[in-house]
Structure 1
Amino acid sequence: MTQDPKLRALSVFDDYLDLSGAAQARMRADLQQRDPELLAALLSLLAADGEASLLDIAPAELLAQVRSAEPAALETDDPRVGTRLGAWQIDGVIAEGGMGTVYAAHRADGQYEQRAALKCVRATLASPALLQAFVGERNHLARLEHPGIATLLDGGLDADGHPWFAMRYVDGVAVDAWCDRRNASVGERVDLLIQVCEALSYAHAQGIVHRDIKPSNVLVGADGRAHLVDFGISSHFGDAQAPGEHIAITPDYAAPEAREHGVHAPAADQYALGVLTYRLLCAQWPLPLHRLRNLIAVNISQPVPMDRLIDDDGAQALAHQRGARDAAALRRELAGDLSAIALKAVASLPQDRYASVSEFAQDLRRWREHRPLAIRPGSRWSRMRKWRRRNPVAALLGTTLALVVLAALGLSLWQQQRNAREIAATQTVSQLFASTLGAATLSGLGSAPFSSRALLEKTERELGKLPLHDQPGLRARSLATLARSYAVIGDYRSAERLAAQAQQALGSEEDRDNFVAATRIAMLNTQNHYAEAMHRARAEIARLSGDGQAARLSRVIFGSEIAKAQWSSGETLAALDTADKLVVSARELGSDHRELLAQVLILRAGFLIRLYRLRPAESDAREAIALARPINNVLADDALDLLTVISARRVSPLQRSLTQELLQRRRATLGRSHPLTARAEILRALSQYPSADSPREIEQALANIGAAYGREHPDYGWALSASSWAIARDPRDNIRLLREAVGILQRTRGARSEVTLGAQGNLGKDLIEMPDKFRGATDFDEGTALLERNIEAKRAIGVPAPAERTTLIRAMLLYGGQAQLDTAERLLSESAIDSRLYYAPDDAQPAQVAFFRNVLLFRRGQHAQADQGFARLIEAEFAAATGEHERRSRLHAQTLIKALTFRALYATQRCQREQALAYLAQASRVADAISASDAAMARILRDYRNALLSRSPLPASGPDRLVHTQVIEETNRLARSCGAAPRD
C-alpha cells in the first residue's frame, strides 16, 4: 500500500462505526489478514475517539459501544444452512441485520437453475412489530419490477410459521466501497446516483418509500449497475405507526423530520440520497457537527456546500480517489452547480428540497450534460460557458463565423433560392407519396405504412421522373422510405437495391437524422439479422459526435433498432432497459419531437406487454395516443392496437369496445382492404371468442393480409394462428391450420420468436381441448408437450407464460392421474405468483386460479375442504359477477356457475338433494342473467337439475368439460344411492 495508513483509516472510520458488532468483528478479522497496518491505524483512531465527551461521540459509535455484547463473529453454524425453504436450498449466510438474516440460496427443485438472496426473520428477535415489518417488506417488493431493485422471486412460511422470501441475487458491493476501490471519478459517481434515483423514483411512483437509503443498501454489480436493496423498513406514503413500533432507522442518513417525528415520505428518502451524495463525492457529512446533538429537536446548523468541506488533511488522497488531479481541482468540480444540487437535497425543511427524486435526478443529469440547472439557471455568461463545453466544435465554428459574416451575407440570396427549390421539391415528393402510398412518409423513427407491390412500383417509377438532381438528400430519403416499404411486404431484394441507391444518391450530402443509415439497419432487423443490426447501430452511435439535438435524435433512432434486435435475440430485460433510456432521451428532445416520443413509447409498451407488465404498458400506450392523435392518426391507432392486446391479456371488459373502436378507425384512415384494418378485424373476432359473429369477414381479413404480404410472411402466420378457430370447418381442420401457421412463423421468425411460441401455444391448447369425437390417440400428449416446451422456451428468454400454465393445469385436472395432479399443484403455485405479479385483484385470472385449486382438492378426494373453498370463492365472485361491465360479469359469472355446480355435486354426494337443487337453481339464475352468450351452460344446468329430480343419468356432454366430467362421474354413481326420499 502506498497511501498513508492513517489516511486510509480515516476514510473507513465512519463506515466501521455504522456496522453491527458482528460485522465490525468480521472487518477486523479481514484487515488482520490482508492489511495489518490499516487495522492498527483504525484501532488507534478508535482509541483516541473514545476519549471524546459524550456529545462529541457519533451516534454510530455510541451504538457500536452498546453492541459490544453482540457475538464477535458471524455465526457459521446457522441451523438454516443446508436446509430448504420451498424450492430453495440455503447455501450460507450473506448478512445479518436488525430484522433478519439474509442467506445465499439456489433453486433445488430441479426445474431450472437460479440463485437468490433469501431473507428470514431471526427467530430470537421475532416480535409482532418485526413480523409485521418483515411481511410489509415482502409485500412492497412484490409490487416492484425494476432493473435497479432486487425484486421478489418467491415467498412463504417456515416450519415455525415465520415468513420468508427470496429476492433476485445481486452479486455486488456497497456503492462507496465500489467507487473507492476503482478511484471512480465524480462524474462516474454521479452516474451511479442517477441510477439510484431512477430506482427510487420508480418505487415512489408505486407509493413506496424506502426509508433506509445508505451505502450498504446500494450495491453495484460487476456490470457497474447500481441496485437498491433492503426494503426492510419501507412503507406506503403516510402509513401510520403506533408509538413504540418503529423499526430503527439509520440516524446519520435520516431526515430531520424522520428522526424527530417519525415522518416517512418521499422527501425523507430524498434527504438520505442527498447525504449519500455528500458521502460519495466529498466523503463528508452535510453538517460538520454530525454528532449526537443532531438528534436534539433543535436546528442548530445548516448544511455546508461540499467544496467547503474538503480540508487540507487528507485532501490530496481524497482527490486522487475521485480521479481529480489535486484537492483544488476536486473543490472546483464540486463547487457551484453540484454543491447547489446536494444542498437542496439535504435542506432541513422538506418543502425546501426538490419536489421529487425524479427532479433531483434531472438536475444531476443536467450537470453531467453541462446544462443549466432547473434550480440555478445562472447568468447568460454561465449558460454560454456550458454551451461551449457541450459543443466545443460549434463554439469554435461560431467564433470563426463572426469573421466571415460579410461573406455569408453575399451568399444569403443564393441560399434563399436553394431553400425555395428544396421546399418545392419536398412538397412534390410528399404529394407523390400521399397519392400512392396513402401518407407522407418522409419523417419519423423508421416505420413506413403498408403499400401493395403495385403501388410501390408505381411510386418508384414516378419518383424517378421527378427532377431531384439538385436535391440529393431528399432523393436519398425518398428511396430509403421506399426501401422500408418493400421490406414491410417481404421483398428484401428490392429493399436492399433501393437502400443502396439511397446511399449512392446521398453522396457527400449530410444524411439528415441518419435516416438512410437507419434504414439499412432496420432492414437487417426485419430479415432477422439481429447481431449485425446491433453491431451496425452501435457503430453508428459511436461515430456521432457532440451532444447537439441532431446527435441525440440519431441516438434515439439507432437505439430503437438496438432495442428491437436485443428483444428478438432473447435479451428481453436488456431490450427493456434500452427502451427505458430511449424514452428518457426522447422526452429531453422537447415538444418538437412528440411523434418520436410516441413511437418509442409504443416500442416500450410492446416489450412491457410481452413481459406481462400490463399497467405500465397501458400507461405508455395511452400517453402515445395522446401525443400522436393530433398529428398522426395512424400512429395513434398503433398505440390503440396495443391497448386492445392489453385488454385481451387481462380479459378486460373493455376488450370488445376497444377492438370495435380500432376497427372503425382503421377503416376510416386506411380503408377496408389494408392489412392493418384486417388485423383489427381479427382482434375484434378474438374479443368474441369462442363464437365469432362474422366468420366471412374474418376469412376476408385473412385473405387481405395474404394478398398484401404473401402467405410466407410472419403477419400472415400470426393472423392464421389467431383466426383458425373461427374459419375452420371442424376441430381437426383447425389443427391443420394451426400447424400451417406455426410452420410459417418458424420459417420467417425462428423457433424462439415470441410470435412463434404464441402460435405453438394455440396449437397445444386446441390439441388438449379436442372434443372426444375428433380426438386422436396422441393429441393430448402432443399438446401438453408443446405447452411445456413453450413454458421453458419463454423462461429462457425471460418472458412469462401464464396462459400456457393455465391450460396445462386444466388438462392435468381433467385427464391426469396422481402424478399429473402433483404437476398441477406445482403449476398452481406458479400461477398464484403469476396472478400477483401480472394481474389486478379484480381480473378474472386470480379467481380462476382459486377455482382450479379447489378442483384439485376435489380430485384428490378432499371433498369437504374443496366445498369450503368453493363457498369462499362464491362469496367473493358474487360481487364481481354483478359488476357494471358485461365482459367482466360474464367471465366472473362462469367461475361462479362452476363453483356452484361443484357445491351441488358435493351436496348430492351427501344425499342433500334439496340443497343440491338450490345450488343448481342459483347457478341457473346466474346463467340466465348473462343470456345468450352462455345459453349452453344454462341448458346443461337445467339437465343437471332434471336428472336430480328424476334420479336419471346425466347427459353425456357439457359446455365445460372440467366441470361436467366430474359431475357425470360422481353424480351418476351416487345419485341413486340416497333412497327414495331426499335427506338434508
Structure 2
Amino acid sequence: MAGDLDAIVLKAMRRAPQDRYRGVGDLVDDVRSHMALRPVAARSGSAGYTVGRYLRRHRVATAAAAAALLAIVAGGGAAAWQARQTAIERDVALAEARRSESINRMLTVMFRDTASSAVGEEATVKQMLDQTAAQLVASVDRSAKSATLITTLADLYVNLEDAAGADALLSQALARGIGAGDPVATAEIKLRLASTAAAMGRTDDMAPLLDSADAVFAADPARFRKERLESMSGRAQLARRKGDYDTAIRLLQLSLPDADRVYAEDHRELLTRYNNLLVYMVEANRLDAMPAVFVAADAALARTGQQGSAQGLAIEQLKGVRLMKLDRLAEAERLFRGVADRRRAVFGKSAALAVDLLQLGRAELALGKFAAARDVLGEARPMAIDNLGPDAVPTLVITLGLAEALAEAGDTGRAETLIGEVAPRIAAMGPVGLPQGIAARTRAIIRLKQGRIAEARREADASEQIFRTLGAPGESYLKSFAALRRRLAT
C-alpha cells in the first residue's frame, strides 16, 4: 500500500510503543482524516503534502474550474478532453474512497479485540491478519467493496513477506466469487493472484490470470494505467520463470518511462521495478548494461529521498552481486557488509537481512574466509527460517553455504547433518535448479575434505551438469569449478 494508508498501517504496527498510536481512537481519527482527504498524523505535514490533500479534497471543483478555463482558451476540443480526464479522476476517486472504506472496516476488525494490547510485534500482526482474513472471507458479499477489502488485506500479507498468506486469501476470494459483480474488482484479484502464484512457483497459473485481467483493463487504458503496468511486470516475471530473459528485460525497460509518471508519488512501486530489472540483468549476466540502470535507479532514490529505504538497500546489494560476478570479491564483501549493517540498524532481523548475510557469506567463502562465512551464515539461517520458512530457496541456499563453510573449516560432521536436513526439501523441488546444483557441489567439498575423492568427483560432475543445464543463472557458479577441479586432481 502507498501514501496515507501505508503510513497509517505501518504506524499502527511500529515495534516501539512510543512510535505507535496512543490508542485506537487516534488510529480511527487518522483513518477518518484520510477518508475525508485531510492530512493524516502518520505522515509529515509538509506544505506540498498539505496542499496536495487540499486539491484532492476539492477534486471535483478543481477539475471543473480547469475544464472551464480550457473551454474559454481552447474551445470545445479541450473541454471534451478535460471532461474525459475529469471522468477518469472521478473513477479514481471512487476507487480510492472504496479502498478507504475497506481499510476502515479491516482495521476495525483487526484492532477490535486488541484495543488495550500492544500492537507491533511481527508475529502478532501475522496472527491478526490471519484472524481478520478468516472472518472477512466468511462474512463479506460479492460486491466490489468486498473485493477491495480482500485485495487490501492481501497487500498487507505481501508487505509482511507472506506470499503464501496472500495467495490463500486471494484464491479463497476468487473461489467464493467475491467481487464477481464487478469485472474490474475480479480483474484486480486475478492480477494480484498472478503475482502470488509466481511467488509460490505456480507458473502455469500466471498467464490465464493475466490474460483475464488484461481483457478488462484493455477496455480503458487511460483509467487502468497502473493496473496495466502491474500486468506488464507480471508478464516479465512469467518470462523470467520460463528462462526468456530477453522478453523479461525488454518488458521492464519498456514500462519504466510510464512507471516514472504513474508512480511519481509511490516510490516503492517505482523502485521495485528498477530492482526487478537489475535482478533479471544479474541472472542473465547482462553486467555491462547494469551501470546505466544503476544511474537511473540512484537518481530515483535521490529524487524520492529513499537511499536508506529497503528498496535502496536492495539496489545497493545488487551492485555487490555484480561485483561478485566480475570477481571483484573484496569490493563486494565490503559493500555487502555495509548493506547488512545498515539494514540491521534500521530494520532489525528480517528476511531481507538474511539475504544480505547470504551474499556476504558467499563473498567470504569465495575469499577463503571460512570462519567468517560460518559465523555470518550461522546468523542468517535461523533468521531465514523464521521469516521465510524452511522450504524457501534462500533458506536452503543459506544452509548449503553454512555446510560448505563448516566443511572447509574442518567440521564435516555438522556439515553432513545440515545437508541431510535440507536434502528431502531440495529433492522435492525436482532434479534441476540452483539449490540442487549447490547441494551437489557442497557434497563434493565435504567428500573432498573427508578424503573420499572418487565420490567428490562424481558429485562435482553432477553439480557442473546441473549448472550448465540452467544456462545463464548457473554461469556464475561454474566459475568456481576450475579451482575445485584442481583440488580434486591433487
Partner of 1:680: 356
Partner of 1:479: 153
Q: Which amino acid aligns with 1:608?
A: M
**Structure 2 residue aligned with 1:511, among 182, 185, 188?**
185
Shift of 1:803: 3.6
Q: Which amino acid aligns with 1:457?
A: Q
Tell me, yes or no, if the aligned pair for 1:587 and 1:597 is still in contact at 8 Å.
yes
| 2:220 pairs with 1:544 | no
Distance 1:706 1:556, change over 3 A: same
Q: Which amino acid aligns with 2:341?
A: Q
Match of 1:809, SS state, is helix
Distance 1:803 1:419, change over 3 A: closer
Distance 1:605 1:422, change over 3 A: closer
Distance 2:140 2:309 in 1: 30
Tell me, yes or no, if the aligned pair for 1:764 and 1:782 is still in contact at 8 Å.
no
Tell me, yes or no, if the aligned pair for 2:236 and 2:251 is still in contact at 8 Å.
yes
Shift of 1:484: 4.1
- Which digits, 9 at most, give the CA deviation of each residue in 1:595-644, with x for residues without a partner? 33321211111111012222433443454354356258222222223223
Tell me, yes or no, if the aligned pair for 1:767 and 1:779 is still in contact at 8 Å.
no
Shift of 1:546: 5.0
Match of 2:178, SS state, is helix
Partner of 1:488: 162
Q: Which amino acid aligns with 2:286?
A: R
Tell me, yes or no, if the aligned pair for 2:332 and 2:363 is still in contact at 8 Å.
yes
Higher RCO structure (Cα 8 Å, ≥6 apart): 2
Distance 1:381 1:777, change over 3 A: same
| 2:145 pairs with 1:459 | no
Shift of 1:744: 2.7
Partner of 1:704: 383
Distance 2:104 2:338 in 1: 33
Q: Which amino acid aligns with 2:251?
A: T
Partner of 1:534: 207
Q: Which amino acid aligns with 2:283?
A: R
The structure with the greater share of residues assigned to helix is 2
**Structure 1 residue aligned with 2:336, among 659, 671, 696?**
659
Distance 1:705 1:500, change over 3 A: same
Q: Which amino acid aligns with 1:571?
A: D
**Structure 2 residue aligned with 1:716, among 378, 382, 395?**
395
Distance 1:619 1:727, change over 3 A: farther
Tell me, yes or no, if the aligned pair for 2:406 and 2:414 is still in contact at 8 Å.
no
Q: Which amino acid aligns with 1:456?
A: K
- Which digits, 9 at most, give the CA deviation of each residue in 1:819-855, with x for residues without a partner? xxxxxxxxxxxxxxxxxxxxxxxxxxxxxxxxxxxxx
Match of 1:712, SS state, is coil
Match of 1:793, SS state, is helix
Distance 1:766 1:382 in 2: 76
Distance 1:646 1:712 in 2: 26
- Which digits, 9 at most, give the CA deviation of each residue in 1:236-262, with x for residues without a partner? xxxxxxxxxxxxxxxxxxxxxxxxxxx
- Structure 2, unaligned runs of 5 or more: 1-72, 112-120
Partner of 2:231: 558
**Structure 2 residue aligned with 1:630, among 305, 313, 323?**
305
- Which digits, 9 at most, give the CA deviation of each residue in 1:286-345, with x for residues without a partner? xxxxxxxxxxxxxxxxxxxxxxxxxxxxxxxxxxxxxxxxxxxxxxxxxxxxxxxxxxxx
Q: Which amino acid aligns with 1:646?
A: R
- Which digits, 9 at most, give the CA deviation of each residue in 1:190-246, with x for residues without a partner? xxxxxxxxxxxxxxxxxxxxxxxxxxxxxxxxxxxxxxxxxxxxxxxxxxxxxxxxx
| 2:421 pairs with 1:747 | no
Distance 1:670 1:776, change over 3 A: same
Tell me, yes or no, if the aligned pair for 1:724 and 1:738 is still in contact at 8 Å.
yes
Match of 1:480, SS state, is helix
Distance 1:550 1:668 in 2: 41
| 2:244 pairs with 1:571 | yes
- Which digits, 9 at most, give the CA deviation of each residue in 1:923-968, with x for residues without a partner? xxxxxxxxxxxxxxxxxxxxxxxxxxxxxxxxxxxxxxxxxx6xxx
Query: What does residue range 305-316 of structure 1 map to in structure 2 within 5 Å?
Result: none
Match of 1:651, SS state, is coil
Tell me, yes or no, if the aligned pair for 2:151 and 2:192 is still in contact at 8 Å.
no
Distance 2:299 2:239 in 1: 28
Distance 1:591 1:567 in 2: 26
Query: What does residue range 373-522 of structure 1 map to in structure 2 within 5 Å?
Result: 384=78, 394=84, 423=100, 426=103, 454-461=124-131, 472=146, 474-482=148-156, 484=158, 488=162, 490=164, 494-496=168-170, 499-500=173-174, 504=178, 507-508=181-182, 510-511=184-185, 515-522=188-195
Distance 1:670 1:686, change over 3 A: same
Q: Which amino acid aligns with 2:129?
A: T
Distance 1:592 1:711, change over 3 A: closer
The structure with the greater share of residues assigned to strand is 1
Distance 1:622 1:495 in 2: 38
Distance 1:421 1:723, change over 3 A: same
Shift of 1:710: 2.9
Q: Which amino acid aligns with 2:247?
A: A
Q: Which amino acid aligns with 2:154?
A: A
Distance 1:618 1:718 in 2: 27
Query: What does residue range 134-153 of structure 1 map to in structure 2 within 5 Å?
Result: none
Query: What does residue range 869-888 of structure 1 map to in structure 2 within 5 Å?
Result: none
Tell me, yes or no, if the aligned pair for 1:598 and 1:623 is still in contact at 8 Å.
no
Partner of 2:418: 737
Tell me, yes or no, if the aligned pair for 2:275 and 2:311 is still in contact at 8 Å.
no
Q: How many residues align?
A: 393
Match of 2:428, SS state, is helix
Larger Rg: 1
Tell me, yes or no, if the aligned pair for 2:140 and 2:178 is still in contact at 8 Å.
no
The CA RMSD measured in Å over matched residues stands at: 4.5
Partner of 1:602: 275
Partner of 1:801: 475
Distance 1:706 1:530 in 2: 24
Tell me, yes or no, if the aligned pair for 2:163 and 2:199 is still in contact at 8 Å.
no
- Which digits, 9 at most, give the CA deviation of each residue in 1:573-607, with x for residues without a partner? 33223233233442453634543332121111111
| 2:322 pairs with 1:646 | yes
Shift of 1:789: 0.9
Distance 2:221 2:256 in 1: 17
Q: Which amino acid aligns with 1:734?
A: A
Partner of 1:525: 198
Tell me, yes or no, if the aligned pair for 2:444 and 2:455 is still in contact at 8 Å.
no
- Which digits, 9 at most, give the CA deviation of each residue in 1:744-780, with x for residues without a partner? 34524x4444x33552464366268x23xx1214333
Distance 1:800 1:739 in 2: 23
Tell me, yes or no, if the aligned pair for 1:611 and 1:799 is still in contact at 8 Å.
yes
Distance 2:467 2:108 in 1: 49
Percent identity of equivalent pairs:
11
Distance 1:577 1:433 in 2: 41
- Structure 1, unaligned runs of 5 or more: 1-378, 399-407, 409-414, 435-450, 817-964, 966-984
Shift of 1:454: 4.9
Partner of 1:825: none
Tell me, yes or no, if the aligned pair for 1:606 and 1:617 is still in contact at 8 Å.
no
